[in-house]
């Protein structure tokens, strides 16, 4: 049994913020499925929203967030995040994150503007902010004596008091598969933090990395956590459409800096859908693109910023410029082919303002959590901010808890399983799930489509559970099991919402109800 004060599952910005802030006083394990940088945080392009100038205000940032959230944001959580935005950015600057400088700016850094924001408030490192942040923090994590980094380790399930037959239902640790050795390790921890990201891989087209398989949401649900608002999946309007450009995102900032969305004949279409045109929130833009593509039978639409000076584009969007050029697209002269793709889960495990779940000693931070900040639609560049603010809140709560002795945990039992005879079942089920989720639970939904999806999910769940009970676990099996459960939670939430609000658009319920309510699911008692 491996023993730590805190086990952090995930190595995105939420996980690294926690680990670095706890490590001065606690022994921390950072458990990550692949390498330290293989997560959605590293892929974030646009930047981090924060109130940093006198022209901006906390009230304006709150107001923009509430408007984007379509009446479902928790105002306390929103105020909490925005009021702590400056200190979060200052912490990153102290860590050495190389944000883009601007000598003419009152704060010395360049701020950009994105859809839904009333001010320029997005601090960024060119167009690869997440990578700049993650590389900076990763170096500190790797060298810290109190942090044990476990790469190529995937969490299987949380170990709770209920599972152990104890009176409490606290979380006491986690079972983890070491992908290098194939052995399952038992981690005992006084506090466990789910910082495992979202579930974009439940869809056929996504901007997310391959690791975004809903693991934390599924583990939390199985352990007894409530989940909320899983129907609100943000589809990023502009993912590069090219056979060799898997999951490459074209940041919102391209539209923020004047990029125009065009039909193949060069006609603009956004002004017909919303007075804010290209600067409308993501859900509006994604639905408009989806509408135009379906109406006209298009494979994609085009995002054109070639009217801007070449020097400006190379300076502000070097990553996008370089990647597009590799694929034969010169963004200084040509428009970029784009399609919407699953991007962000606004729902997740219900938490409070200290990032606590309903299970004692278990926290959830980042995209895996539902804090109330995003409501029915996340405002651009609020996600990395949420990771840091709630990461810091969890740190304060963990450090305030009295010390406890470790609980002796049973080893993982593999006595009644054998090696799988064939892996084709897993890859076939994975493919089927992602296709029908895209077709039936995508940008536009209907009751019939949701019923079809639910029927398929039930069949897949039976098949996967039988497989899980009879064969040794593998990384692919763990991810598939989690994806199917997460898909089920998305569909359950979508079926309960009899209106169209934010990211959830139903043809059967096109109107918005007068009262905004969260969709909360509670696991059945076992």
Residues with a catalytic annotation lie at: 282
Q: DSSP alpha helices (H): ranges in 378-446?
A: 383-400, 424-440
Determine the Cα–Cα distance for residues 182 and 61; give it in Å rounded to an integer.
47
* Three-point CA angle 337, 339, 343, nearest 5°: 130
Which residues are CB-neighbours of 230 under 8 A, at least 6 positions away? 217, 345, 347, 348, 486, 489, 490, 492, 493, 494, 519, 521
Helix (H) or strand (E) holding 156: strand 153-160
Determine the Cα–Cα distance for residues 274 and 462; give it in Å rounded to an integer.
44
Determine the Cα–Cα distance for residues 342 and 345; give it in Å rounded to an integer.
9
Task: Tell me the C-alpha to C-alpha distance, in Å, between residue 207 and each of 63, 202, 210, 212, 296.
Answer: 27, 12, 9, 10, 24
Which residues are CB-neighbours of 363 under 8 A, at least 6 positions away? 191, 192, 193, 194, 351, 354, 355, 356, 357, 394, 397, 398
CB 148 within 8 A of CB 77: no
DSSP, collapsed to helix, strand or coil, labels residue 232 as: coil
Determine the Cα–Cα distance for residues 114 and 496; give it in Å rounded to an integer.
32
Residue 138, CA atoms < 13 Å, CB-side half-sphere: 19
């Amino acid at each position: 049994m491996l023993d730590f004060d805190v086990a952090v599952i995930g190595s995105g910005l939420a996980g690294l913020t926690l680990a670095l802030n706890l490590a001065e006083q606690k022994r921390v394990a950072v458990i990550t499925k692949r390498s330290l940088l293989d997560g959605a945080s590293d892929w974030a392009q646009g930047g981090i929203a924060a109130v940093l100038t006198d022209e901006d205000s906390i009230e304006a940032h709150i107001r923009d967030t509430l408007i984007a959230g379509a009446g479902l944001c928790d105002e306390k959580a929103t105020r909490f995040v925005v009021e702590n935005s400056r200190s979060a950015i200052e912490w990153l600057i102290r860590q050495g994150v190389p944000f883009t400088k601007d000598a003419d700016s009152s704060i010395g850094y360049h701020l950009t503007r994105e859809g839904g924001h009333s001010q320029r408030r997005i601090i960024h490192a060119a167009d690869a902010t997440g990578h700049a942040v993650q590389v900076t923090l990763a170096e500190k994590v790797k060298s810290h004596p109190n942090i044990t980094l476990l790469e190529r380790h995937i969490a299987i399930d949380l170990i709770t008091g209920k599972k152990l037959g104890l009176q409490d239902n606290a979380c006491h640790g986690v079972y983890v598969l070491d992908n290098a050795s194939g052995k399952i390790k038992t981690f005992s921890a006084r506090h466990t933090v789910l910082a495992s990201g979202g579930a974009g891989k439940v869809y056929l087209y996504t901007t997310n990395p391959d690791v975004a398989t809903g693991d934390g949401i599924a583990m939390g649900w199985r352990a007894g956590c409530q989940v909320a608002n899983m129907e609100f999946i943000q589809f990023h309007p502009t993912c590069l459409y090219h056979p060799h450009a898997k999951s490459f995102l074209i940041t919102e900032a391209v539209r923020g800096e004047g990029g125009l969305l065009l039909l193949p004949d060069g006609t603009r279409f956004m002004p017909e859908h919303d007075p804010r045109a290209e600067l409308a929130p993501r859900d509006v833009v994604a639905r408009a693109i989806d509408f135009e593509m379906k109406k006209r039978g298009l494979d994609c639409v085009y995002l054109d910023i070639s009217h801007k000076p070449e020097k400006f584009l190379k300076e502000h969007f070097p990553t996008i410029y370089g990647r597009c050029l590799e694929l034969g697209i010169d963004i200084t002269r040509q428009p970029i082919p784009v399609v919407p793709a699953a991007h962000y889960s606004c729902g997740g495990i219900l938490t409070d303002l200290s990032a606590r779940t309903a299970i004692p000693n278990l926290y959830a931070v980042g995209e895996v959590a539902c804090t109330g900040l995003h409501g029915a639609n996340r405002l651009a560049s609020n996600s990395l901010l949420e990771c840091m603010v709630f990461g810091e809140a969890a740190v304060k709560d963990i450090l305030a808890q009295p010390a406890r002795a470790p609980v002796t945990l049973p080893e993982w039992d593999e006595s009644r399983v054998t090696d799988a005879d064939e892996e084709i079942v897993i890859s076939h089920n994975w493919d089927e799930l992602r296709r029908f989720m895209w077709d039936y639970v995508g940008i536009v939904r209907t009751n019939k489509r949701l019923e079809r999806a639910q029927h398929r999910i039930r069949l897949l769940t039976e098949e996967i559970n039988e497989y899980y009970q009879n064969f040794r676990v593998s990384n692919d099996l763990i991810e598939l099991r989690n994806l199917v459960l997460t898909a089920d939670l998305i569909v359950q939430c979508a079926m309960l919402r009899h209106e169209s609000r934010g990211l959830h658009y139903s043809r059967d319920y096109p109107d918005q109800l007068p009262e905004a309510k969260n969709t909360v699911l509670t696991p059945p008692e076992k």
